[in-house]
Structure 1
Amino acid sequence: MSTTQVWDTSLQQFHGGQDWKFLDNFVEDFSVTTNSLGTPQGALVAAREAVDQEPAKSSLAKFLWPADHQSHVSRLLLGNGASELIDLVIRTAPPGSWKPGPWDAQYKEYQRFAEVNNRTLLSSDDKQRTTLICIVNPCNPTGDYMPVSEIRDWITNNIERGGVVIVDESMQPWLSSSWRDDSLTSQHKFASMLYETLNVSLYVIHSWTKLWSCTGLRLGSVVCPTLSHCKQLKKIQVPWSVNSAALAFLETVVTDTDYLNKTWEITPVWRKEILSRLTIISDEIAKVKGEQARWSFHGKEFLSWIWVDVKDVGFAEKAVEKARKAGVPVRSGKPGYNRPTFVRVAVREPSKVDILIRAWMSLVNS
């Protein structure tokens, strides 16, 4: 049984990442973009031992703004995963149109919440200004990324006066140890200018479960434009929505600098290696089927996944099935993203990649 057979898309947006539950031979999960280093052990211990709520929000504020966290902590709100916060912001936004970021595909929860709230949906290439904009940057799954100067211009040129902008930076801290300099969380003057001159509210959302590989804990945050915006969200937020284990985990994990340093060091190296091995398979396919069959690979080098266009719907389906049977599931681009020739492959350590490559090499001459 696969994820698509048990997921009721009439009730929920397809998300993926559950194939491993149905595999008797599970080895490694290539379908999710969590950190390939696994969960930081110190934070995991803290989560297990937690009995009381800790001052996790202040700790996260120090992580986001090491130099002046006290000036901004009041605009920070924690949530039961990013999904809860996405829902809260979209529910409080003024009615009107909705548009995703400029990518041809992005994380679908934003569109689902826009649909639920009866918004007029515009396409990503629509040029008109919009009441509500939701941008995933870096974009999951395409791997596109706008540096801070570009995304500021894009926001200014696409939002209407009095509108709301949500920027999801869940994968942005993977950039490097200097990620804060290129994050909208550091753009205090820009956010103030939007609000004071255009009445535009800018929210920056993070799901922390990918960077710290703790998806089961449900841990997200949002940086609001002002304290009053934060209070407005908190007013409709379920009390104690973030459990004590998640709060204790957060309190500990934000101080684990060794883990992050290793993440920034290892991820690009392992990503480059898996990309080179996937390219070998693509080269072999091109020899058999011609240049038009050569795969294309997408995404910035610092990211924890590769977005692969295998150019053939049938091959993509076979590749997903082969990976699943080998115990190393990948993410199909068909459900959710509606990109049937694409497959998303997470960065994982080389010995696990061996299994995936062997499974896919068997398809070259099929």
Structure 2
Amino acid sequence: MSATFDPVDFLVEAVPIDSTDEAVDEMREFLVETLAAHGVEATVDGAGNTVATKGSGDADAPHIVLNTHIDTVPPHVPLERDDAAGVIRGRGSCDAKGPLAALLSAFLATDPGDAGRLTLAITPDEEVLSTGAAALDLDGDMYIVGEPTGLDVCNAAKGRFQGTITLSGVAAHAAEPESGVNTIFAVEQVLSVLRAFDADREPHSSLGPATLTPTTIEGGSATNQIPADCRIVVDRRTIPPETAESFRDALATQLRAAVPDDVGVDFSLTDRPTPFLEAFATDADDPLVETLAAAAREASETTGRTGGTVRPFTAATEASYFAPAPTVVFGPGDLADDEGAVAHAEREYVKTEDVRAAAAAVESTLGDLF
């Protein structure tokens, strides 16, 4: 770790800064000022990304990107520091200002010189639409994405898509049901399609099976009227190599084949200004995965953890925007512990020794890869 930068001190200053939703200006200014204080000039692009680069390697030299986000979910939770327990509490302490502190420490401590390039890319809007990450065009050879993984190295994650199935029929008086087309009856066929959609699909070797779940349903407008429309929202947790477009086309085809001809059926993905977070998977024997896992195991020896396990990340992540380049998700803190939710919860916290261990592991990895 850098002799002049302490990731825990940075975190103690960062957590009190409210960066919920779109209110990230103050946190971004703090990050830019911190980099400047350590001799690094950062730029802020039109999407609000903070980007800084070191090194000047030629085209064949590796370009490694360190990425995480500065926005946090509401409501803001004030800083609470418990030095006796070695814990920092507050919004963003683990998601993802703790990972940011670790990545920033490793970035400041590493000088690739002419052996390659090292980029720190910190995005806004990760918790909503990922407009920052979607705008990045870095052409990296390897990516380390900071999220709370308990010092494990996550080399894969499911994606998440969302869409709406719309059924259309003909309204009529409920006393004369045969004079209309009841869309709610067609829900039976829709649910059969959803249940069987992945029946012939092999699970992913580490991510397991994809899932397709109906989450909301609404239809009809009067209790004595045949409903002429019905809408079902579905949540898709996907595995490679499925894309949003291939999922949409496959489900639409199966629905049309199953739903009665007199019922109109449409399936559309939810409109959003950025691509959906798709599934990604980096080979477990990729040098980035193996190097960081070994470094995490060594760094976590003093923390009481058994860090460095290679496993999938359990939430959707912007890491999918950087694949198929070798990409891993890594950082201090946990999404949840034995007591319940940690990230996004009122009790959000991170252990200071984990922050230091994560910083040491990333720094060691960069030293080995450059």
TM-score under structure 2 length normalisation: 0.29
Question: Is the helix fraction higher in 1 or 2?
Answer: 1
Question: Is the strand fraction higher in 1 or 2?
Answer: 2
> Which is greater in Rg?
2
TM-score under structure 1 length normalisation: 0.30
